[in-house]
Amino acid sequence: MENNNYKITIEVFQKNNIFDNESIGNGIYIAELLVCGKTIPLYIGESVFMLRRCGEHLYELLKEPEYWGLTKVNLSDPDLKLIFRVLQPLDDKLDNHAREIYYIETKQPKTQNATNDRLRRNRKDIVQAEIAKAKGI
């Protein structure tokens, strides 16, 4: 991976300004982009090890920002903040995949289809339009 001077702020599983211990375990999480005070939901996932999965996501993001609908220019923008947070710990008594789909349907992450966890083909166009709208461009 090439050495870049990225300026985007990345907040990994914080709750009340401290590390969220729930992220160590299994659960449903969200990645959001904060742009000029506006939160743009990017991705919702389910993982047995959320914190480890977040590390994998960050590696992929820096390697190929388009996967998340972002660009290298976005990663160099100090006004952007990528936030990972826990939505819900997994529960053996619930259908966790159904819960993940519920969150996708209600929060409408911009990189995923509205009714399943598959990624949209035009996610870069959608996310870039949302960033421009939040910045008033």
Q: Which domain holds residue 28?
A: 9-123
How far is C-alpha 9 from the chain's CA centre? 13
How far is C-alpha 76 from the chain's CA centre? 17
Higher pLDDT among residues 25 and 96, named by residue: 25
Considering the domain boundaries, does residue 135 fall inside one?
A: no
Q: Are 80 and 55 in contact (CB under 8 A)?
A: no
- Judge whether residue 96 has pLDDT over 90: no
- Residue-level pLDDT at 5: 83
Please report, to the nearest 10 degrees, the dihedral formed by the alpha carbons of residues 88, 92, 95, 96 taken in order.
40
If one counts every other C-beta atom within 10 angstroms of the C-beta of residue 28, the result is 22
Confidence tier at 3 by pLDDT (50, 70, 90): low
Which residue is listed with tokens 């590696």?
A: 59
Considering the domain boundaries, does residue 68 fall inside one?
A: yes
Which residue is listed with tokens 């389910």?
A: 46
| Domain count along the chain | 1
Q: pLDDT digits over 101-134, tens only?
A: 999 999 999 999 988 889 999 999 999 999 999 9
Considering the domain boundaries, does residue 93 fall inside one?
A: yes
Considering the domain boundaries, does residue 73 fall inside one?
A: yes
The stretch 57-71 carries a mean pLDDT of 94
CA distance to 5, 20, 31, 72, per residue, from 39 (Å):
24, 20, 10, 20
